[in-house]
Every structure is written in C-alpha cells, then in structure tokens.
Structure 1
Amino acid sequence: MNTIGLVRLDPWLKPFEGIITQRHRRFINTTESLTGAGTQSLTDFASGHLYFGLHRTSKGWVFREWAPNATDIYLVGNFSDWKNQEAYRLHRIDNGQWVIELPTDTLRHGDLYKLHMVWPNGSGDRIPSYANRVVQDPHTHIFSAQVWQPDTRFTWTDESFRTRTDNPLIYEAHIGMSGEKGDVSTYNEFRINVLPRIVKGGYNTIQLMAIQEHPYYGSFGYHVSNFFAATSRFGTPEDLKALVNEAHNLGINVIMDLVHSHAVKNEIEGLSKFDGSYSQYFYDDDRGFHPAWDSRCFNYGKGEVQHFLLSNCRYWLEEYHFDGFRFDGVTSMLYHNHGLEVNFTSYNDYFKGEENEEAITYLTLANQLIHEINPQALSVAEEMSGYPGLCASVDDGGIGFDFRLSMGVPDLWIKMIKDQTDEDWKMGFLYHELTQHRAEERTINYAESHDQALVGDKTIIFRLIDKEMYTHMSKTTPNLVVDRGIALHKMIRLVTMATNSGGYLNFMGNEFGHPEWIDFPREGNNWSYHYARRQWSLVDNEELKYHFMGDFDRDMVHLMRKAMDNGLPGCFPVLMNDDDKVMVFSRGDLVFVFNFHPSASRTGYGIPVAPGKYRILLDSDRDIYGGFNRVDDNLVFFSQPVSKMASHHQILMYLPNRTAMVLEKLPTPKVY
C-alpha cells in the first residue's frame, strides 16, 4: 500500500501520514477478513439479500432472519390469521440465524406478513430486516411486509446503457412531490410527466430522494426504516424499474439518495430493538443515538452490520439498475460528534481522535464494492467538513468517493443575499469561494438544493423577490424588484455552474424559480399537500415570467454540457474588479463575463483574452430570458493588442448592469 499519493497531492498531510496509513491498513485487514483473505470477492460477500429474507425456491418458500437475542420467532400474516402458530415457527441455527421452509401454496403474491419476535422479558411484531416490499394500510396506517412475487418479471431493455461519470449534471428530485396535484405523485407519473422535462432541460443525471421506505413522509426520506424496500407510496417495484429503464434508454444516469448515516428509531417499523436488544445493529451506548436527528447510529465495526449495509449497496445497483449513490450525512458518519457545532479550521481537526474509524473503514469498503460491481458507478458524498482524502482513490489512501457536494456554496449565496447589498459583493472573494476544493477531489457545485426550499428556509428567488412573486410575475405587471430577482437568479446559477470542478446540481423546480417552499403534510398544516408539489403550469405559461428563468436554465445547461463533454478545462481567473463588480474567467475557448453592478453599465470595457475572434453564445440580457436586449448578440469581437504589446490582447465590450455573457473563441482559419 502506498499512501504517498495522497500526501504528494497535499504535503500538509505529511505530519498525519501515519494515521492515514493506519486507516488504510484497517481497510485492507477488514477486506481480507470479510472476503476470507481473497477467497471470495467483496461482491460475493455483499450477498445478504440473496440469503436472508423471503425467497421462493423450486420446493416452496424459505425465510431467514438474523436475530441473535431472540428466543422465539413466528412468521405471522394473512395466512396465520395474524396469530402465532407452530406451523410458522422459525428454527434457530448457527450465529443467531433463524430459518423456516414452507410449501408453495402457503404464501401468495400480495400477502401481508411480519415477524412476531420473542426475547427475554419481552416480545413484539417486527418487519423483516431484508423485506423488499413494505406497505402501509391506508386506514390504520400500520406498516407490514408484503409478499412480492408477480407472475411476470420486469424486462429490462437498457443493456447498452453505460453510466456517464465525468461530468454529472444532476437533477435532484422527489417523486412524491413531483406532481402538480395536492397528493402523492407516483413513479409512473414522474416517468411520463417529469422525465421529458429533465431531458429537455439538458441534465444527464437524476438523483432520486426518499426511495428507501420511511414511516414518516415528511422526513424527506431521511429516516429510513426498511433499507431494501423501495417505498410503496410511489408505486410498485416494477414502476420504479420502468422509470430507471426509460431514463437509461434516454441516456440519463439515475442515482439514489442512500441513507446509511443513521436509521429511524421506530421499533415496530424499523431496526431499533429489532431482536429486543439495542445493540444488534447499532452502538449500545450514547454513540447509538443521534442527538440532532433523533435516530439510531449504526455500529459500523460489526461484521453483521457491514454485511447488511454492503449488501444494501449491491442490492440497489443490481435489482434496480441504479448508477450509483449520493451518500447522505457523510460528515455525521466520519466523526463521533457528527461534526455538530465544529469549525474545521486546521488539519488537526481531522486527526484529533474524534473520527469514527469504523465508519471511515465502512465508507471505504462501500466505495470499493460499488466500483467493483460497476467501475463507472457514481458515488457522491454529502460532506461539509472538507475531510482530506474523501475523494482520493482507495489505493492512494483515500475513501474513494467520486465527488463531494460543495455544501458551502448555497450557504455562501444565502449569506451574501441576506447580509450584503449588491454593491458590497466582492468579486475576488466570490470567485475564490466558488472554485476552491481540495487537490484530490472533484466537487459538485450547486446554488441551492432541497434544503434551501424547505419551510424554515428560502429559495434564492424567494429571497430576492419575496412577496412580489405573488403579485408581479405576470408579463403585464412590470416591477423593478422582480427584474432584479430574475437577473440575479440567472447570474447566480450561471456563475455557480460555470465554476464547477466536476459537476452541478439543481433541485426540481428551482430552475424556473418555483415560488413556494416545501411543507409536507403534518399536524401543523392540517395535513395538507398544498406545498408538497411542483407547479409546472407556472413555467409552461408564456404569460408569466417563470419561463424566462426556465428557458435560461435550459440553454445554460445545454451549453455547459456540450463544453464539458468536449473536455472543458478548469477555470482560469482573468479579471476580478471589486469596484466595477466585474468578474471574468476563462475555461479553454470559453470566456465568462459577469457585471454584477446593480446600476452601472460599462461601455468599451476591456476584457483580457487570447488573440482571436469571439462571439456570444449565451447572454442573460436577451428578452427571451426576461432581459432588455442591450447587447447585439450577432457581433463578432476582434481582439486588439493592449499598449502595442502583441502578447496581451483584449476585446472591448458593452457590459449592461446585472448581466452575464458566455463568449466563444472562434477557430482560426487554416492557411494553406
């Protein structure tokens, strides 16, 4: 093993090379232990879902469960009149495992079932840990596992699809709130109504939230109870497969939010106290309870837990053809203090003994497994501490993620919009914050995600326009506040996307400035679905101003996607003028020009460029985007030497206030 690769990239890690080496050795030793010193692959090991749970065989049915603290287990359901019957009593075998075999006619597709678990001094009903279908009774609201063995298996037609990993342009979506009606939307409705919008918008990756079953709808899917069950709120497993299959046939990756950072503490629906003990899947001391999320924390150092979680990774990749994962809450996993109220200001903060070494090992194992199954799979970390090596290769001593979400960027925009006027924005500071990342990592920039759209926060457009959104979004009602908001909304999203160092993310509806926050049905809103939806009719209405932002986002994404697919190099700062509020940077043959000044337009402004001719590819001030057509987009700009220095060229441009432009250097004609 050679950790020098990570240290070579960042010499400031040299004092901690011993710790990095030790962590990597722990990963190697754990891998050897789990795989029998290489007698099987990590993929072979991660096969718990093929053994545990309910399976139909040529002889009938077999059901297996791991519950070491249990003294008796009964399978109960429709077939047993929900009573303990000797015929459905499981038999204990080795290592805390239980098994029962049943005739074929015992269970039918659609039957409901649970486990009645007995333990010392107690008992209770439980949903099997590997249940792959869980449903909620619409009247009693009780969850049960469901036998899911349809006569016809789903037929995949995506054999030719290959995951695209270089530059994910992610459309973050929640199936249930993706419809306009005030109810829970479905996989099929999303496939029919929303997927075409994503294709038209130019995004190449969909990130699906809230797929793993969760008892409380308003948790946004982050309090998972049943890790192997695709939530039945949105439809059947075949419906989800049809969605992924069609996305693949349209050339789009589909990744899912994978929640391994914690689990819901519910005992009847989830894994907490599953076999009567608090320590089966989770730490049995204070580490087992998350103080901020009111949930349970996995014991990542326990072999059976590693088996469960790694099998979960493999299951979603193979059963549903997902192209990878956005790992939720990675910071919370990395540190015993979960990163709460901690400022990571020096390298010592990453190596002071507060790190959860077992979780670090698990995450490394998970990334190794994911890329063993699909070398092109995407693994994205939701991580805010800037942990060194998070996106470094496993061979170089890293954890092996492909990308890290730039979680500081939306916080930056909120702070700038809330605490400063436009006149106070610093171009050099803004550029630095948007482009900074560790040398070994690729990041995914985003101006806002679902977090900023929830009740208690505000989207960018709502912060910029506020109450005027309710009265002045018609094209017949001019309004300076709305003009300012739309102009800055376009500029903020373009500069955020253009400075990415790997990918970009947008939350469903934010591309056109969706006007209202997200509030799921709860007692406080009289269980209303009014705010748990997306109003697509707003962007479709040509009489309203929302389509200005939607159309700009579409053209912006298509432009950047084409450039990134052609190997767009990194950012190079050209001009940062804090007084003029002008920012210019280049990426290869593209030049990005921003005038953030609220009132001052610049005439004959010199933009340093490489010698050549330039044309405008994208102009936020065009009337089709809600602008004022102050620049002739048909102009070709010829560079001129500065002060008669042939090596220093510039183009002279008119820069209207609050506008952004993307220019392209035209190819030099060949001389024969």
Structure 2
Amino acid sequence: MMTVATPYFQQDSEIALLNGEYTDVFSLLGMHSSSDNKGLIVRCLLPGALSIDVLNAKDLRKVASLEQVNQQGLFAGKMGRRVKPFAYLLRVQYPLCEQLINDPYQFDSLLNPDDVYLFGEGSQLQTYHFQGANWREHHDVKGVHFCVWAPNAKQVAVVGDFNLWDKKRHVLRHHPASGLWDIFIADVEPDQHYKFAICDVHGNEIIKSDPYAVAMQSSPHNASKIPNLDHYDWQDGEWLTERASREPHAQPMSIYEVQLASWRRSGDDGQDYTDYSQLIAELVPYVKEMGFTHLQLMPISEYPFDGSWGYQPVGLFAPTYRFGDANGLKAFIDECHLQGIAVLLDWVPAHFPRDPHGLVRFDGSCLYEHEDPRRGEHPDWDTLIYNYGRAEVRSFLYSNAYYWLNEFHFDGLRLDAVSSMLYLDYSRTADQWIPNELGGRENLQAISFLQELNARMYQCFPGINMIAEESTAWPGVTQATSNNGLGFGFKWNMGWMNDTLRYISSDPLFRRYHHGELTFSLVYAFTEQFILSLSHDEVVHGKGSLLHKIPGDDWQKFATLRAYYGFMWAHPGKKLLFMGNEFAQRNEWNHNQSLDWHLLNYTPHQGVQDWVRDLNQCYQQYPALHQRDHYSDGFQWLDCNNADDNILVFCRFGIDKQQPVVIVVNMSPQVFHHFRIGVPTDQSYNEILNSDHRHYGGSHVVNDATYEIQATEWQGMPYSLVITVPPLGCSIWAPEPHELP
C-alpha cells in the first residue's frame, strides 16, 4: 500500500490505520486540536466516499470540506479558524447517494468507572446494561452504545447492516486497564444485524457474535441484532409482591417440564414452531387445568443446534428466535403469573459449545474458558468449561442469571449439570485432570461461584427458587452458604428416580427382591430439600417412554404407571414431570415433532391424564402432602417391610397433625381384601383417591364408603381401618370432612 506523509497523518499511523492495526483509533480519527494548537482538524475513514463536508450540528451550516488523503477512504481537513470543539455532522457523498451521519469518533466513552470496576472485580450483576448493544442518548444524540470485552485483541470493530459490514468504519475505543472496547453510533436502527470483527492476539481476523446480544438472527445465521425499542408493560406486580412473602418449601410445587419446540407444533404440516401468542392460548390454560403449580422451560437462550435441546447455548442473553421476540416471552410469563403459575428456567452455566461465532477463544486467547484443557474442556460433550476463577467471567454469568430473573420475571433457575462443575475429575481418567491447590478433586472456583450466585440471587429476588441438577452425593447442596453449603433452594433427587424406575421395570413376580428400591430414598429424604424428578432425560437416547419401561400387558403397564405416580405424589419432596408423561406417551420424546396428543382419544391415556390432574388437586388441597416435605416429622412408615406382597403403607403429616393422609401402594396385580392399616387419629376416614377407579381406566376395586376407625392398634398407630387394596394401585385416605371437590 503506497502512502506518503501528509499534514494530517504520520505515514506509519496511516499504514497501521488502514491495515487495522492501530489500537487507539480515537486518538487519530474524529476532531482534534492541530499540532500547533491553533486550530481544529477532523479526520475520518469512510471507504467508498467521494467527498465529505463537515456541518455544524446546531444549524447544519457547512464548516469545511475535507480533503481526500488517499484512495482507501481517508479524509481530513482543518476547521477554519475554530479552536473550540463543536458538535458536527458529516455530509458524505457516495457514488449513488448522499448520507448525513454523526461521526462516532466525536463522542467520548459512555463507560461508568463504577460499572467497569465491579465488572473487573467479578461482582457486577448488570453487565448487560453497559456491554453489548444498548440504546443511549449521548450529548442529546440518540444512538447505540456498543461495548465488548476482548482484553487481548489488537483491534475491535463493529460491523453490520449499518456500515456495509466494513470493519474500517466503526473501530472501537480501547480501554487497556479493563480490556473493554466501546463506541457510540448514532446512525443505526432497531433490529439491524451486527457482529464484532476482532484482530485477535495472534493478528488473525475473527468474526464474533455479541456475547451480550439480547436478540440474534434465526439459524443457520448467527448475527446479533440491535435491540428494538418496544416497551413491555408488566401486569404481574401483585404476583411478585406475594412471591417475596412466600416460603417455597412449605408450598405445593408440582412442576411441568416443557420443551417449547416440541410441546405442540403448528402449521399445515405440523412442523412450525408454536409462537408465544399460541402458547399463551394453549399451554398456559393446559398447565392450569392440569393443576401444575410451576412450569419449567428447557433452555431458551439462543442455540444453533436443534438437537442440543437448548443445552448448548451461544447467545446467553438472547431468547431464541424460535417462538417470538423478547416481549412475546414476557407476555407469556406475565400470563402465567396472572393465572397463578410460576415459571422456572433451565439455565446452563456448566459449559458452552465450540461454535466459532461464540465464546470460544473470543479474542484469540482462552478468555471465557479455562486455558488448561484438563479444566477447560468437557470430555463427554466436546464443549468448553467456563473459567469460574476469572472475575470477568463470573460477572458475565452472574449478570446472565440476574438478567433472566429481573428482566423476564422468571421465578427461579434450574442449573443443569451441576455435578460436572463441582468435580475436577468429572468423567475423566486419572491422567485427564489436575487437583486443586489443596490436593483435592473439588473445583473450588466453581464452588465459590455457585455459593455467591445463589446468595446474591436470593438476596435480590426473595421467593425465587434456585434448583440444582446434582447427581452425586455432594453434601450440603441445599444448605445455606453460611454453613458452607452451596446455597441452592432445591436439588433434584436423582437417586429416587433411578431406584424407582429400576423397580417398576422389574416383573411384579420378582419385585419382592427389589423392595428396597422403593424404600431406600427415605433413608436420606430429609438430608436435602429434594424435588422428585421424572425429566426429559428419562425418556430419550433409547431409554424408552415411562410406559415402555414397565413389563406386562397394556392393563398392567397403565395400572403400574398410575400407582407409581401416586407413590411419587405422596412421597416427601416436590414434584417434576416432563411433558407427555402426564398422558403416558408411548414413544420416546422426539424434539423434532409434537407430543402424541392423539393418544388422548384412547381411554387408558385419558385416564392417566385425569389421574395426574386429580393428584395435583389432592396434593395442593391437603397440607400433609406438601407442608413438611423436607422434615422427618412429616412422614412415617406404617409398613415398609411387606416385600412379599409388594405393598407400602405410610402416613404424611402437615403442621396440623390432626389432618394426616395415609397412603397404600400395591405394586402387585393381586387384590387384598380385609387389609388392615393403621391410622393416627380417632376420626372417620374416606378414600379420597384410588388409581384403580374406572374413571382412570382401572378395574374399579375401590372403597366407596366412609370407614369408621377401630380402636385396634396397628402398624404403630393407636387406631386402624380394614380396607380393600386395589391391584397395581395407589389408595389415598384422609379423615373427614376433607373431600376432593
């Protein structure tokens, strides 16, 4: 490239600028005092321009015409005898049009020192308010402030629809102390696409999506989008106020887990995604009618690969395009709240994918991921692990959690794959990991991150639920951080799930040898605040549907499944059921299509759906079934040793010990007549639910009458009843006058 020194540029500066190697572009472009301080000079780089005039921004009068320095688009000129900087516009003549633009290099930085300090300290909760693309008004000019963290980059430019994707037009200002780059651009529009063009630490040009983008292009494209200006007017103020005053552990929690992409598709061919307006009309009333208290959404942060189900997100701050925009999501959550339904979000801070437009080696270095592959790479998923010890990465993740809870009013976060975060040797052979500084296998940085995350989210949003999917016996997952716990509100009970699914998969003839798989969970049921989960993970990858796991003919399969659900709803712990399980879907879940809703045309499937609905109603109506879920005084075995008959009998208590609920579960196909059970109170008892009722598709071995208690001690109780126990059934009893409406 041939250049010569001019009154406006040093030759080496001009070369570096044109080659994209000049780091401090703001010191060169824009308006500056002349070298003798006796005037002003304006310099700009606008490739393709034929001529440029400088206009006074106040009255649009021409101040000067700039001289074209070279054919690469460098222009410069003196501002006459003016010595005091002034606001100006550039009138740019291109071959086919004329444009009037605000020169971005005349604006100073919008970064707040306090924000920058907290970001670098690792304690910033609202990083998204100053990083990414945010609408601002600067010196009475409206535009977008772009900011990105790339401390090892040699140069960063924003490219997009507004500058013909030319990396020379909008080079960002470098802040070496923080590693941030920023620029204010006035001449942009909502929903325009953009990316960051980065000259990385090795001098290579890489193109990245914005880590803080709040909207992204539809797949397979991956550009970020400038936020639109549509405001959403929330209507759920009363819900949020009440939420803050509630104690979640004493409340009923029955969670319906949903993947929005496959709950119910639309379109003539049934392959279109259902948008938020349709979900408001269909999903919300369905969840309410079924009696679920909570809706848990599988990840909705933007993800490029449908087959990841959202668990490999690239745009953590961007709600996926698949179902509509951010305001559509807000309206959906708002409607859930107005209908009394809490909404939880599946959140993925354990790892991120290697998509080249994402976080991987963002500035050419290991910025978000740990540099050592023994800590920075996940061997199972071929993904990367966040560097939880890096302050800026912690600010990024804290801010993302805060963003979903604050901006979208989610009622809690369920953290995926927590076990993989806690252990340095997770799914690794002996030569694939290195111990921590204490010589152990615990990831001390991840532990600290989780403790701080939970403490801060609960402090900022009283009444929310932070939930861990943690599959090991890590102690204190739901213990307070002040007691050296991780500080979660709830933990999925993976042990209960594995044991009980193994039990129902066995033939009834041999279940006597597996009886402990139903009872063992009560050995540890009160060591953590548990959620009993039958999630999507149990009906994929060749595992078959829940119905498919159960041996026998259809009658036995459906009866066993109903009895199993009855046991689950009566067992201590909150509940979670994946979509489709509520009506006994026969096939494995397929993320590429709707659930098999046509099955509800058949009585057995309708019966299971009705049973789940009535279980939810019963669970909410009777405090004994939810108030003391996490305390041993809320549960008592009456008979846990009847392995030969495959029968369990137990009692649940609420705060009011005079209103117990007694549960009988029979996992054999035999009917037991004249079966005596103990009861704790001197009252008449009714069978409030029976899974064998004909309404649910059963054989109708039921107990219709009100049963008077007998003063016969039984099963450690002062009183008893003699009942009939249904085959492969669950029978639930409560004293009068409580009856299910």
Same structural fold, with TM-score higher than 0.5 when normalized by the shorter chain: yes
Aligned with 1:575 (options 639, 642, 645): 639
Aligned with 1:55 (options 134, 142, 149): 134
SS of corresponding position for 1:617: strand
Amino acid at match of 2:650: F
Q: Report what 1:651 is aligned to.
A: 721
Amino acid at match of 2:292: Y
Answer yes or no: is the 8 Å Cα contact 2:199–2:363 preserved in 1.
yes
CA shift for structure 1 position 602: 1.2
Aligned with 1:173 (options 258, 261, 272): 258
Q: Report what 1:642 is aligned to.
A: 712
Aligned with 2:732 (options 639, 650, 662): 662
SS of corresponding position for 1:555: helix
Taking a change above 3 Å as real, the CA distance of residues 340 and 205 of structure 1, as seen in their structure-2 partners, is: farther
Amino acid at match of 2:692: D
Taking a change above 3 Å as real, the CA distance of residues 566 and 431 of structure 1, as seen in their structure-2 partners, is: closer
Q: Report what 1:384 is aligned to.
A: 471
Q: Report what 2:665 is aligned to.
A: 594
Aligned with 1:327 (options 412, 415, 436): 415
- Are 1:517 and 2:588 counterparts? yes
- Are 1:608 and 2:678 counterparts? yes
Q: Output the CA distance in 1 between the equivalents of 2:692 and 2:715.
A: 33
CA shift for structure 1 position 136: 2.2
Q: Report what 2:234 is aligned to.
A: 156
SS of corresponding position for 1:70: coil
Aligned with 1:275 (options 363, 376, 394): 363
CA shift for structure 1 position 353: 0.8
Q: Report what 1:554 is aligned to.
A: 613
Answer yes or no: is the 8 Å Cα contact 1:434–1:500 preserved in 2.
no
CA displacement 1:518-540 (0-9 Å, x = unmatched)? 234xxxxxxxx3xx32133322x
The runs of 4+ residues in structure 1 deviating greater than 6 Å are 643-647
Q: Output the CA distance in 2 between the equivalents of 1:263 and 1:127.
A: 14
Amino acid at match of 2:539: A
- Are 1:396 and 2:483 counterparts? yes
Q: TM-score, normalised by structure 2?
A: 0.75
CA displacement 1:199-246 (0-9 Å, x = unmatched)? 011111111012111111110111111111111112111111011000
SS of corresponding position for 2:608: helix
Q: Report what 1:146 is aligned to.
A: 225
Instruction: Indicate the structure with greater helix content.
Output: 1
Q: Output the CA distance in 2 between the equivalents of 1:258 and 1:219.
A: 13
- Are 1:358 and 2:419 counterparts? no
Q: Report what 1:626 is aligned to.
A: 697
Amino acid at match of 1:578: A
Answer yes or no: is the 8 Å Cα contact 2:152–2:363 preserved in 1.
yes
Answer yes or no: is the 8 Å Cα contact 1:283–1:298 preserved in 2.
no
CA shift for structure 1 position 71: 0.6
- Are 1:534 and 2:595 counterparts? yes
Answer yes or no: is the 8 Å Cα contact 1:426–1:581 preserved in 2.
no
Structure number with the bigger relative contact order (C-alpha 8 A, sep ≥ 6) is 1
CA shift for structure 1 position 507: 0.4
Aligned with 1:68 (options 133, 143, 151): 151
Amino acid at match of 1:533: S
Task: State, as a whole percentage, how many aligned pairs show the same letter.
Answer: 27
CA displacement 1:278-314 (0-9 Å, x = unmatched)? 2444344321110001100011011111111111111
Q: Output the CA distance in 1 between the equivalents of 2:273 and 2:626.
A: 40
Answer yes or no: is the 8 Å Cα contact 1:335–1:356 preserved in 2.
yes
Answer yes or no: is the 8 Å Cα contact 1:605–1:654 preserved in 2.
yes
- Are 1:498 and 2:570 counterparts? yes
Amino acid at match of 1:549: V
Q: Output the CA distance in 1 between the equivalents of 2:389 and 2:709.
A: 62
Contiguous gaps of at least 5 residues in structure 1:
1-34, 343-350, 466-479, 521-528
Q: Output the CA distance in 2 between the equivalents of 1:206 and 1:627.
A: 29
Amino acid at match of 2:686: R
Taking a change above 3 Å as real, the CA distance of residues 133 and 613 of structure 1, as seen in their structure-2 partners, is: same
Answer yes or no: is the 8 Å Cα contact 2:122–2:395 preserved in 1.
no
Taking a change above 3 Å as real, the CA distance of residues 256 and 67 of structure 1, as seen in their structure-2 partners, is: same
Amino acid at match of 2:486: I
Taking a change above 3 Å as real, the CA distance of residues 373 and 660 of structure 1, as seen in their structure-2 partners, is: same
Aligned with 1:301 (options 389, 392, 395): 389
Q: Output the CA distance in 1 between the equivalents of 2:565 and 2:398.
A: 36
Q: Report what 1:114 is aligned to.
A: 195
SS of corresponding position for 2:524: coil
Amino acid at match of 1:552: W
Q: Output the CA distance in 2 between the equivalents of 1:644 and 1:534.
A: 46
CA displacement 1:417-454 (0-9 Å, x = unmatched)? 445544324585144334343645210013x2101122
Q: TM-score, normalised by structure 1?
A: 0.83
Answer yes or no: is the 8 Å Cα contact 2:504–2:560 preserved in 1.
no
Q: Output the CA distance in 2 between the equivalents of 1:283 and 1:222.
A: 22
SS of corresponding position for 1:624: helix
Answer yes or no: is the 8 Å Cα contact 2:572–2:625 preserved in 1.
no
Amino acid at match of 1:535: D
CA displacement 1:336-366 (0-9 Å, x = unmatched)? 1226699xxxxxxxx9710000000000011
Radius of gyration: which is bigger?
2
Q: Output the CA distance in 2 between the equivalents of 1:566 and 1:413.
A: 19
* Alignment of structure 1 residues 307-322 onto 2, 5 Å: 307-322=395-410
Q: Output the CA distance in 1 between the equivalents of 2:611 and 2:429.
A: 38
Answer yes or no: is the 8 Å Cα contact 2:333–2:409 preserved in 1.
yes
CA displacement 1:156-195 (0-9 Å, x = unmatched)? 1000003352332111111111114233232222221111
**What number of residue pairs does the alignment pair up?**
588
Q: Output the CA distance in 2 between the equivalents of 1:575 and 1:439.
A: 19
CA shift for structure 1 position 643: 7.3
Q: Report what 1:262 is aligned to.
A: 351
- Are 1:92 and 2:179 counterparts? no
Taking a change above 3 Å as real, the CA distance of residues 199 and 667 of structure 1, as seen in their structure-2 partners, is: closer
Answer yes or no: is the 8 Å Cα contact 1:110–1:147 preserved in 2.
yes
Answer yes or no: is the 8 Å Cα contact 2:603–2:697 preserved in 1.
no
Contiguous gaps of at least 5 residues in structure 2:
1-113, 431-437, 629-633, 654-659
